[in-house]
Amino acid sequence: MKSLNNLSILGLLVAATYCPAQQILSEIENIVPREIKVDGFNLEQDQQVEINGTGFRKGRKQSVAFTRAWVLNAATREVVWIDQEADMRDRGRRLVQFRDSITLDAGDYEVYYSSFPYHYYKTKDKEFWGLERFFDHLFDGDEEESYHTYKKEWKQFKIVVTGRGNRNSAERIVDVRNMFTKEALVSLLGSDNEAHVRQAFEVQRPLDIQIYALGEARKDGSFDYGWIINTDTRQRVWKFTYDDSDHAGGAKKNRLVDRTLFLPKGKYTAFYVTDDSHSPYRWNEAPPLDPAFWGLTIRTVDPEMRRFVRQTNVAEIDAENVILKLTRVRDNELRSKPITCKKNLAVRIYALGEGMDRKMFDYSWIIDSNTHKKVWQLDYRSTEHAGGASKNRLYDRVINLRKGNYVVYCVTDDNHSFSEWNEAPPYDQENWGITILAADSNYNSGDVIDQHLNSRTLAQIIRVGDDARERERFRLGKETEIRIYAIGEGTHGSMHDFAWIEDDETGDIVWEMQYRSTTAAGGSSKNRLIDQTMRLPSGDYLLYYESDDSHSFEEWNMSPPYDPEHWGVTIYEQE
């Protein structure tokens, strides 16, 4: 019996000899205001680890105020521990110590410590009496004074993780992150402020994808965010929004999307844009719990399905689908371009402009060249925030254009346009104006041509400037029904830029543009339009157009009409 006891004691001693000792796996200290530090460790087996640290105390309650510490699973990006869950005890008037034990699976982990203010703690509540001076220093951005005034407290901020494993180097931390993105279909991370990045990819078999995205959004809009479109149809299949995201930790505006999405076979493009602040380059409020993945990452839910997805060239896709571009538009510009659709087409309109108080100032529109009716216009109600100043507006939708002739217009006022911004520019500055892209999967480049087909025009005087008097002769071989389409300037019942028709033989006026017969032509109320038909006997005729010394084509002193290219008069033969 005695020998057995000795053997048992010996066995315990041997076991103790081979039991690895606890060691520091991660340690973060020497914290300064508005800083985030990261460290990492690796566990070769499941085990319990110990976490100890010090943060800033929130008033009488034993919880941390603006300092925050947490641990992430580096492979899954899941938060496995945060200091708010730990046991707390006071360490003086301003500090609190947290201590915890957690069980972790084998693998790699990242440890974070953040010292950014949380603005919802800025209050006059009596609970903060005695700390007001400290918070004033911090929240007013005077970090240097805060640090030197409370250097003793700052020196004690830290987090230490102990266990049986290995501390990861900075290179190892990056390598483990890269493993998460290695098989990604899309990895749009680390974008600088005011970025606009994208990646195209083709799905060769239907599959489920995982969208993992962090960005900046509030209920009133998104500021750093992403979206996915079907490149063939130009339809948006997913967008990062406040309502469809969760709090990502840190500042309330940090938002997280971690969801699955089914994608049918097809071609897609993913986008991610950032505004001019709050990013990994410089956080202006508390960062999220996974700051390294600020951006958009897309992976297949089933890793085996990755082989059925390939990345494609964005430039090639754009070149294949662009029908028309009127972009990089500057102040006081009016641009136009005619197109002819040889068949009915679905098109995506991507238009940027300036709008405030539900009214657009830089905008685009499309008219039917045959009827001269407006078929689409950039309307404030159908736009969304385009990034930068709130007046930057974006329209990104698919519409249908019937077979026919069209003119596309884009107009700007005297301020805030490409390279002449008077407030923060939009994310996609280069495309200020309008871009039209084919949204039909069976589209080919011959479906749209630049020139118009035969329009049965008998006479035309258009694009008339100031102080003009122009005439055009036309002949009718038989009695003919004609269509008269004219735009001019008129106020208070009188016309100032107007047209008329004379019988060439008698000199009689057979038709005249009168104010009471006109309707609004769009833009300024003095832009007047007449669109009517009449019958004329066979014979020779003279078409005249006269303008005064102001407000004419390219010399507008108020908003132009919807069809400025036709400022003047056109006579068509009716079919």
The reply to whether 134 and 203 lie within a common domain is no
The reply to whether 420 and 493 lie within a common domain is no
- Pairing of the two strands 498-503 and 509-512: antiparallel
Residue 13 within any structural domain of the chain: no
Last residue within a domain, chosen from 291, 312, 333: 312
The reply to whether 463 and 439 lie within a common domain is no
The reply to whether 111 and 187 lie within a common domain is no
Decide if 42 contacts 108 (C-beta within 8 A): yes
Last residue within a domain, chosen from 147, 172, 197: 172
Residue 219 within any structural domain of the chain: yes
The reply to whether 388 and 475 lie within a common domain is no
Is 90 exceeded by the pLDDT of residue 115? Answer: no
Residue 9 within any structural domain of the chain: no
What digits encode the pLDDT tens for the residues 375-428?
A: 999 999 999 888 878 899 999 999 999 999 999 999 999 899 998 999 888 878
Calculate the alpha carbon distances from 260 to 51, 247, 299 in Å.
33, 18, 9
The reply to whether 477 and 421 lie within a common domain is no
What digits encode the pLDDT tens for the residues 219-262?
A: 877 889 999 988 877 788 999 999 999 999 999 999 999 999 99
Q: What is the pLDDT of residue 107?
A: 97
Region label for 328, one of left (φ > 0), alpha (ψ between -120 and 50) or beta (otherwise) = left
Asked which of 30-44, 89-103, 136-150, 367-381 is least confident by mean pLDDT, the reply is 136-150
* Reported confidence tier of residue 209, pLDDT bands at 50, 70, 90: very high
Number of domains in the chain: 4
Output the six-digit token pair for 156: 């004690």
What distance in Å separates the CA atoms of residue 443 and residue 446, rounded to the nearest whole number? 8
Residue 147 within any structural domain of the chain: yes
What digits encode the pLDDT tens for the residues 137-159?
A: 444 445 555 556 667 778 889 99
Mean of per-residue pLDDT scores for the chain: 86
**Looking at the whole model, is its pTM more than 0.95?**
no
Decide if 481 contacts 535 (C-beta within 8 A): yes
Q: What is the pLDDT of residue 259?
A: 96
Is 60 exceeded by the pLDDT of residue 3? Answer: no
Q: What is the pLDDT of residue 232?
A: 77
Task: Decide: residue 202, CB within 10 A, 0-12 exposed, 13-18 middle, 19+ buried.
Answer: middle
The reply to whether 407 and 470 lie within a common domain is no
The reply to whether 93 and 227 lie within a common domain is no
The reply to whether 294 and 335 lie within a common domain is no
Decide if 88 contacts 125 (C-beta within 8 A): no
Is 90 exceeded by the pLDDT of residue 273? Answer: no
- Pairing of the two strands 539-546 and 448-449: unpaired
Calculate the alpha carbon distances from 213 to 260, 274, 314 in Å.
12, 13, 21
**Running DSSP on this structure, what letter comes out for residue 286?**
-
* Reported confidence tier of residue 85, pLDDT bands at 50, 70, 90: confident
Residue 284 within any structural domain of the chain: yes
- Kindly report the CATH number assigned to the domain that includes residue 405: 2.60.120
Residue 355 within any structural domain of the chain: yes
Structural domain range at position 151: 24-172
Is 60 exceeded by the pLDDT of residue 445? Answer: yes
The reply to whether 222 and 270 lie within a common domain is yes
- Kindly report the CATH number assigned to the domain that includes residue 244: 2.60.120.380
Output the six-digit token pair for 161: 């993780």
The reply to whether 479 and 438 lie within a common domain is no
Asked which of 50-54, 286-290, 438-442, 512-516 is least confident by mean pLDDT, the reply is 438-442
Residue 2 within any structural domain of the chain: no
What digits encode the pLDDT tens for the residues 7-19?
A: 444 444 444 444 4
Q: Which helix (H) or strand (E) holds 489?
A: strand 480-491
What distance in Å separates the CA atoms of residue 535 and residue 220, rounded to the nearest whole number? 57
Residue 303 within any structural domain of the chain: yes
Last residue within a domain, chosen from 312, 338, 367: 312
The reply to whether 236 and 351 lie within a common domain is no
Pick the residue with more confidence: 569 or 425? Answer: 569
